[in-house]
Amino acid sequence: MHVTLVEVDVIPDFREDFIAASRLNHEASVREPGNLRFDILQSPQDPNHFVFYEAYRNEQEARAHKQTQHYRTWRDSVANWMAAPRRGTPMLGLFPQAR
């Protein structure tokens, strides 16, 4: 399983727009063939800090996500709403094991 943790800090004035755009990306991403999880988390201490937990069966399917129209729409929509560039950390998912 290939997992990416993506951290995003959003400009406060754009937080609700970011959440709405991210919901649309989430709804399409969970329907991708290789997607196992696509969780969007918001910090309770800092409501402008988000973590995306993206799990795919393998690295190729995670890369394919970046080619989808919904991802590109999200990326372009939220680009100017971020307080800093987003940070992605690739991880290897051990458990649960991908089926």
pTM score: 0.93
With pLDDT > 90 as the criterion, what percentage of the chain qualifies?
92
In a domain, residue 94? The reply is no
Output the domain CATH number for residue 31. Answer: 3.30.70.100
Of residues 93 and 5, the one with the higher pLDDT is 5
Measured distance CA(68)–CA(29) in Å, rounded: 9
Q: For residue 25, give Cα distances in angstroms to 29, 71, 87, 95.
A: 6, 6, 17, 25
44 exposure class (CB count in 10 Å sphere: 0-12, 13-18, 19+): exposed
Count of structural domains within the chain: 1
**Domain assignment present for 98:** no
Is position 62 within any domain?
Answer: yes
The range of the structural domain enclosing residue 65 comes to 2-50+57-89
Backbone dihedral region for residue 96 (phi beyond 0: left; psi -120 to 50: alpha; all else: beta): beta
99 in a domain, yes or no? no
* pLDDT tens-digit series, residues 17-44: 999 999 999 999 999 999 999 999 999 9
Taking only the tens place, the pLDDT of each residue in 57-68 is 999 999 999 999
